Amino acid sequence: MTSEKKRSTLLDENGVDSSHSTKNPKRQRLNDIPDIEKDVLNLTSEKAYYIIRSFILFTDGIITTLAFDDKLKSIFDDCPSLNYKHIVYELYYDEEILLKKYYFVVLSLIINQHYSSYFEQNELHRINLLKFLCLIEEENILRNFEKIDNNQLNFSSYFSLIGTFLMIIISHKTITTQDICIFSTILEDDIIDKNISNMPILKDFIILFRDIMHIEFVKKIYLELINDEIGPANSIDDIVFSGIINSTIEEILEKRGISFANLSTCYTAITCFNRTLIINKNIILLRLIDKAKRLSDNTVMFGGLLITVLHEFFHILRRTIIRKAFNPFYERTPPRIISSRNNIHMTEGGFQLDDRLFGTVCETIGHLDGMFLLNYHNWENKNHDDFKKCFNDMKTRDLHTNSIYNRWILPSKGGPMNNNDNDENNTEETLKESSSLDRLNLPGCVLAASWYQFQS
């Protein structure tokens, strides 16, 4: 293969260091690119699809690098900021032109991360990349985003979920079979949006959840984790935090509601980059709770939902309070010791919350511990140590009384997210931000998991 085929002529002309003499070239923050706000206004789904279709033709060997370079010239003319190569990516969910910035991030990653290194990648990555781009085109994903009113983007569960996973996967330097499979699974079924009007039992659930969040020992755990990250100079007091809890519950749970989607069986829930909460309909089964009159009608499902929302609400609060956490490319929660897992350090904020609140990372739920959690008096009338002891005693009692086959697994990421894509970014300058998002870490299918893993 000739050197012309290995490297895009156009990219070389616009500043790619083909000699690799600079291992870590200075990188530009996306929002510091001159004229970025003006340039992105020219981006549309049709222009994005023009580049995606052209790249598909390129990966299929139908057009050459020179032909694809000609296609790129048109998008560079429309949006000169796409000429920038070494970018610290950022995307804030409260952007006024969120969708335009989203298009920019996706196109920039395709051009600078996948096209520029295409011939250096192995065959499987190229196959997966082609499949992924074809899914984006065949499912009309970007056009569907454009049909949503810009002011309603963050209220759209479709944009929230599909947009989050698309951005995560396209940011990976190598796209894996797992990436393709989880994305395809999500696209397999419709997303079901539930709120107080079409699922009345959610009103009782949200009332209970709000009351629990204002229990002193519960609120203290969330507040300590948040303040530990933002530092004493910016710490939030109890009164301010109570107001944030109320306004966030109103905006995220009451106004947006809770959406249910097919997340395979690897996750119980996902908090999207814009704080929208998506529950896995394969784990919290709508058919068992949709018509419920009382939370006690199904203690396993509603208990599991309560544990899940408590877990995810930490991510939601963090992305509400900490400005840098609005940006999905920002490093995840600082690592902290998880005492219930042999004092290992983990960066998963929800696990940190679980460990402190329950004294364990909750991986299963049963009738008795579910019933315990759904009774507000068990939260209100106990100090934290007594609460943890009673909860874990109830779990043990449920296991002995009802057997493991009456417990339901609540799968999660199962451990720290792998970030192997970012080795070259571990410089002092870019310690907190990177050009690719944490790789999805998919544990084994919950329904195929060995029960002995979850007996504790």
Concatenating the DSSP letter of every residue in 170-233 gives HHSSS--HHHHHHHHHHHHS--EEE-TTT-THHHHHHHHHHHHHTSHHHHHHHHHHHHHHH-GG
Average pLDDT over residues 16-38: 73
User: Among the listed ranges 122-131, 272-281, 314-323, 337-346, which one has the minimum average pLDDT value?
Assistant: 337-346
Q: Which helix (H) or strand (E) holds 134?
A: helix 123-138
- Cα dihedral 283, 285, 289, 291, rounded to 10, equals 160
Contact 349, 382 (CB under 8 A): no
Q: Answer with the residue of higher pLDDT: 273 or 434.
A: 273
Q: Which two tokens stand for residue 117?
A: 């290194």
User: Among the listed ranges 19-33, 170-184, 301-315, which one has the minimum average pLDDT value?
Assistant: 19-33
Helix (H, G, I), strand (E, B) or coil at 284: coil
Angle at which helix 367-374 crosses helix 384-402, to 10 degrees, equals: 150
Residue type, 358: F
417 pLDDT more than 90: no
What average pLDDT does the structure give for the chain? 86
User: Quick one: which of 391, 406, 356, 372 has its CA closest to 208?
Assistant: 372
Q: Which residues contact 185 (CB under 8 A, 6 or more apart)?
A: 262, 263, 264
* pLDDT band per the 50, 70, 90 thresholds, residue 26: confident
266 pLDDT more than 90: no
Which pLDDT value is given to residue 440?
54
160 pLDDT more than 80: yes
Which pLDDT value is given to residue 23?
58
Distance in angstroms (rounded) separating the CA atoms of residues 126 and 56: 10
pTM of the model: 0.86
User: Among the listed ranges 134-138, 239-243, 416-420, which one has the minimum average pLDDT value?
Assistant: 416-420
pLDDT digits (tens, 9 = 90+) for 382-416: 999 999 999 999 999 999 998 888 999 998 643 32
Distance in angstroms (rounded) separating the CA atoms of residues 361 and 314: 14
**Residue 67: how many other CB atoms lie within 10 Å:** 12
